Structure 1
């Protein structure tokens, strides 16, 4: 009986679109390349990485 209740609630949420919104919020976040590039640029500007490391990281992105 409990399983039937869970399935009914899930079906209702699926039909209203709330289930997709909820799973969309739980999905993994893929960072964009611009934020990675900005982070590398900031670390290089602060002197935390060498020029060789900077070039290697830029080539990886």
Structure 2
């Protein structure tokens, strides 16, 4: 009976969208001082910026 109650509450929260908001807040990370470098590295790894742009951006930081 207790399990059924938990499932019902979970289903209600899922339907209202509160469950997604709750789990979305849990995944947030506090950016560090070098977050700009991490973003540049990720963009370069994904191929969104060229090697020349990557070098220029790394030198600016």
Using structure 1 for the length normalisation, give the TM-score.
0.49
Larger Rg: 1
